[in-house]
Amino acid sequence: MTAQHPDTPRADLPTQYRPADVEGPLYERWVERNYFTADPGSGKPPFSLVIPPPNVTGSLHLGHALEQSMMDSITRRARMRGHDVLWLPGMDHASIAVNNLVERYLAETEGKSRAEYTREEFIDKAWEWKRRYGGQILGQMRRLGDGVDWTRERFTMDDGLSRAVHTIFKRLYDDDLIYRAERIINWCPRDTTALSDIEVEHEEEPGELVSIRYGDGDNSIVVATTRAETMLGDTAVAVHPDDERYQHLIGVEVALPLTNRRIPVIADEHVDPSFGTGAVKVTPAHDPNDFEIGRRHDLPMPTIMDERAVITAPGPFQGLDRLEARTAIVAALREEGRIVAEKRPYQHAVGHCSRCDTIVEPRLSLQWFVRVESLAKAAGDAVRDGRVRLVPSSMDGRYFQWVDNLRDWCISRQQWWGHRIPVWYSPDGDDACFGPDETPPPGWTQDDDVLDTWFSSALWPFSTLGWPDDTADLRTYYPTTVLVTGYDILFFWVVRMMLFGLYAMDGEVPFQTVVLHGLVRDAAGKKMSKSRGNVIDPLLWMDEYGADAVRLSLLQGANPGADQAVNEEWVKGARNFCNKLWNATRFALLSGATVDGPLPEAGTGPDAWILSRLNAIIAEVDDLYERYEFAKIADTLYHFAWDEVCDWYIELAKLSLSGPSGDATRRVLGEVLDTLLRLLHPMIPFVTEALWTSLTGGESLVVADWPEAHAERDDPAATADIALIQDVVTEGRRFRSDQGVNPARSVPGAVSGAGPATEPAIRALLRLGEPGDGFAPTAELTTARGVTIAFDLSGTIDVGAERARLAKARAVAEKEQSVNAGKLANEAFTGKAPEAVVAKVRDRLAAAEAELARIDAALEALPSE
RNA sequence: GGGCGUUUAGCUCAGCGGGAGAGCACUCGGUUUACACCCGAGCGGUCACUGGUUCGAUCCCAGUAACGCCCACCA
Helices A568-590 and A662-680: angle between axes, nearest 10 degrees: 150
Per-residue pLDDT band for A13 (boundaries 50, 70, 90) equals confident
- Asked if residue A208 keeps its beta carbon closer than 7 A to nucleic acid strand B, the reply is no
Q: What is the mean pLDDT of residues A633-649?
A: 97
Q: What is the DSSP letter of A490?
A: I
- Residue with the larger pLDDT of the pair A121 and A711: A121
- Asked if residue A766 lies in contact with residue A729, where contact means CB atoms within 8 angstroms, the answer is yes
Q: DSSP string spanning A609-669? A: HHHHHHHHHHHHHHHHHHTT-HHHHHHHHHHIIIIIIIIIIIHHHHHHHTSTTHHHHHHHH
Q: Which amino acid is at A576?
A: N
Among all strands, which nt has the closest C1' to A290 (CA)? B73
Which A residues between 754 and 813 have a beta carbon under 7 A from any strand B atom? 808
Which A residues between 109 and 168 have a beta carbon under 7 A from any strand B atom? none
Among all strands, which nt has the closest C1' to A223 (CA)? B75
**Strand B bases contacted by the protein (CB, 7 Å):** 2-5, 11-15, 18-19, 22-25, 28-32, 34-43, 54-56, 69-75
Helices A136-144 and A547-556: angle between axes, nearest 10 degrees: 80
Q: What is the mean pLDDT of residues A591-611?
A: 89
Q: Tell me, in Å, how far CA of A439 is from C1' of B25? A: 70
**Which range among A148-162, A259-273, A591-605, A671-685 shows the weakest confidence by mean pLDDT?**
A591-605
CA dist A484 and A476 (Å) reads 20
CA dist A581 and A692 (Å) reads 11
Q: Tell me, in Å, how far CA of A77 is from C1' of B49? A: 46
Which A residues between 836 and 865 have a beta carbon under 7 A from any strand B atom? 837, 841, 844, 847
Please state the separation of Cα A314 from the chain's center in Å: 52
CA dist A698 and A3 (Å) reads 9
Q: DSSP string spanning A83-121? A: -EEEEE-EEB--HHHHHHHHHHHHHHHH---GGGS-HHH
- Asked if residue A226 keeps its beta carbon closer than 7 A to nucleic acid strand B, the reply is yes
Per-residue pLDDT band for A6 (boundaries 50, 70, 90) equals very low
Does residue A2 surpass a pLDDT of 50? no
- Asked if residue A41 keeps its beta carbon closer than 7 A to nucleic acid strand B, the reply is no
Give the pLDDT score at A603: 66
Give the pLDDT score at A1: 36
Does residue A237 surpass a pLDDT of 90? yes
Which A residues between 629 and 658 have a beta carbon under 7 A from any strand B atom? 631-632, 635, 639, 642, 646-647, 650-651, 654
Among all strands, which nt has the closest C1' to A585 (CA)? B34
- Asked if residue A348 keeps its beta carbon closer than 7 A to nucleic acid strand B, the reply is yes
Per-residue pLDDT band for A11 (boundaries 50, 70, 90) equals low
Does residue A391 surpass a pLDDT of 70? yes
Residues A535-594: pLDDT tens digits? Answer: 899 999 999 999 999 999 999 999 999 999 999 999 999 999 999 999 999 999 999 999
Alpha carbon separation from A517 to A68, A392, A395, A741 (Å, rounded): 11, 9, 11, 49
- Asked if residue A379 lies in contact with residue A502, where contact means CB atoms within 8 angstroms, the answer is yes
Which A residues between 667 and 726 have a beta carbon under 7 A from any strand B atom? none
Residues A754-790: pLDDT tens digits? Answer: 999 999 999 999 999 988 888 888 888 888 888 999 9
Closest by alpha carbon to A685, among A15, A206, A31? A31
Among all strands, which nt has the closest C1' to A519 (CA)? B69
Among all strands, which nt has the closest C1' to A279 (CA)? B75
Q: Tell me, in Å, how far CA of A834 is from C1' of B46? A: 28
Q: Tell me, in Å, how far CA of A571 is from C1' of B28? A: 27
CA dist A270 and A279 (Å) reads 11
Does residue A10 surpass a pLDDT of 60? no
Does residue A531 surpass a pLDDT of 80? no
Which A residues between 362 and 381 have a beta carbon under 7 A from any strand B atom? none
Q: Tell me, in Å, how far CA of A539 is from C1' of B9? A: 33
State the pairing for strand pair A262-267/A236-239. parallel
Among all strands, which nt has the closest C1' to A488 (CA)? B70
- Asked if residue A230 keeps its beta carbon closer than 7 A to nucleic acid strand B, the reply is no
Give the pLDDT score at A5: 37
CA dist A239 and A221 (Å) reads 10
Does residue A96 surpass a pLDDT of 50? yes
Percent of chain A predicted with pLDDT > 90: 80
Alpha carbon separation from A30 to A146, A302, A512, A543, A689 (Å, rounded): 10, 64, 28, 21, 10
**Which range among A5-9, A15-19, A736-740 shows the weakest confidence by mean pLDDT?**
A5-9
Give the pLDDT score at A151: 98
Alpha carbon separation from A150 to A34, A70, A160 (Å, rounded): 9, 18, 16
φ, ψ at A69 (rounded to 5°): -65, -40
Among all strands, which nt has the closest C1' to A202 (CA)? B72
- Asked if residue A573 keeps its beta carbon closer than 7 A to nucleic acid strand B, the reply is yes
Percent of chain A predicted with pLDDT > 70: 98
Q: Which amino acid is at A463?
A: S
Q: Tell me, in Å, how far CA of A833 is from C1' of B73? A: 58
A128 in helix, strand or coil?
helix
Residues A717-752: pLDDT tens digits? Answer: 999 999 999 999 999 999 999 888 888 889 999 999
Per-residue pLDDT band for A375 (boundaries 50, 70, 90) equals very high
Among all strands, which nt has the closest C1' to A586 (CA)? B34
- Asked if residue A570 lies in contact with residue A557, where contact means CB atoms within 8 angstroms, the answer is yes
| Mean pLDDT of chain A, nearest integer | 93
Q: What is the DSSP letter of A289?
A: H
Give the pLDDT score at A231: 95
Q: Tell me, in Å, how far CA of A205 is from C1' of B13? A: 33
Q: Which amino acid is at A623?
A: D
CA dihedral of residues A829, A830, A832, A836 (deg, nearest 10):
110
Residues A127-140: pLDDT tens digits? Answer: 999 999 999 999 99
Which A residues between 283 and 312 have a beta carbon under 7 A from any strand B atom? 287-289
- Asked if residue A281 keeps its beta carbon closer than 7 A to nucleic acid strand B, the reply is yes
Please tell me the total number of residues recorded for chain A in this structure: 865
Give the pLDDT score at A35: 98
Alpha carbon separation from A33 to A29, A370, A473 (Å, rounded): 6, 45, 21
Give the pLDDT score at A9: 38
Q: Tell me, in Å, how far CA of A371 is from C1' of B71? A: 20
A389 in helix, strand or coil?
strand
Q: What is the DSSP letter of A565?
A: E
A280 in helix, strand or coil?
strand
Per-residue pLDDT band for A3 (boundaries 50, 70, 90) equals very low
CA dist A393 and A386 (Å) reads 11
Which A residues between 504 and 563 have a beta carbon under 7 A from any strand B atom? 521, 523-525, 527, 557, 559, 562-563
Q: Tell me, in Å, how far CA of A819 is from C1' of B55? A: 14
- Asked if residue A362 lies in contact with residue A287, where contact means CB atoms within 8 angstroms, the answer is yes
CA dist A87 and A35 (Å) reads 11
Q: Does the CA dihedral A380-A383-A384-A390 come out positive or negative?
A: negative
- Asked if residue A583 keeps its beta carbon closer than 7 A to nucleic acid strand B, the reply is yes
Q: Tell me, in Å, how far CA of A495 is from C1' of B67? A: 29
Give the pLDDT score at A772: 82
Q: What is the mean pLDDT of residues A28-44?
A: 97
Q: Tell me, in Å, how far CA of A8 is from C1' of B12? A: 44
Count of CA atoms in the C-beta half-sphere (13 A) of A457: 23
Q: Tell me, in Å, how far CA of A559 is from C1' of B7? A: 18
